[in-house]
Amino acid sequence: MKRFYKAVGVAQVEGGWQVQLDERGVKSQGGKLQAVPSRALAETLAAEWERQGDEIDPATFVLRDMADFAIDVIGTDRAAAITALLRFVEGDTLCYRADAGEPLHERQIAVWEPLLQAAEARWDVHFERVEGIMARPQPAATLARLRAVLEAEDDFALSALNTLASLAASLTVGLAALQPDADPEALWAAANLEEDWQTELWGKDWEAGEKRAQRLGVFAAAVEFARLARG
């Protein structure tokens, strides 16, 4: 699609702030008013539009897609969105370990245990640790408590979390990334510990490295999205 606008700006509207193209408000991909909760986030969304060249590249609208997901999907059915997020607990990467005694298991303990224990202390829950690949359900009390944690977040934080948990295959990592003192690169490294382990054993793959860098960029953008939405 060719660029169809010249001027990009932001304006305060009912429900928050909106990007405007040639003074016309942007709508979500679902056709709704794309109002976001802070001017800072609106200005960052506007920058995505401003960076477009003569041809618009939809793949570069990472933050717009998160805003639209908050409005079109989560805003339509929060309960379903939260239930979908809770599925990342059952197969949480941080809970599944190699067999005890293996070098990989030792590294998983060193990197993952501090994150799990911090989450357990923060939310007063318990996570089952599993050796091997056979799934084991998490305690019902843990799922109930985490549902309450998710219900306390706004739609935009949940949208960011959807991206974070999907990329990390871990709700624990995603929630940690929403904390004010989060280190996105350290959390990304933790989520990709097994991939890094394989790289150490078999060597680097250039194409895989490029894809990982792209995913890290989206992960970091989701952290920034949540921060900006909170103002």
How large a percentage of the chain has pLDDT more than 90? 90
Considering only CA atoms, which of 208, 184, 207 is closest in space to residue 196? 208
Tell me the mean pLDDT in the region 166-187: 96
The number of beta carbons lying within 10 Å of the beta carbon of residue 46 is 20
pLDDT at 205 exceeding the cut of 80: no
Distances (CA, A) of 95 to 85, 138, 168: 16, 10, 13
Say which DSSP state 50 is in.
H
211: its two tokens: 């894809």
Q: With bands split at pLDDT 50, 70 and 90, how would you rate the model's confidence at 133?
A: confident
d(CA 33, CA 48): 18
Q: Which of 59-68, 154-163, 190-199 has the lowest mean pLDDT?
A: 190-199
pLDDT at 206 exceeding the cut of 90: no
Phi, psi for residue 13 in degrees, rounded to 5? -135, 175
Which tens digits make up the pLDDT trace of 137-151? 999 999 999 999 999
pLDDT at 56 exceeding the cut of 90: yes
Chain centre distance of CA 136: 24
Look at residue 125 in the predicted model and tell me its pLDDT.
97
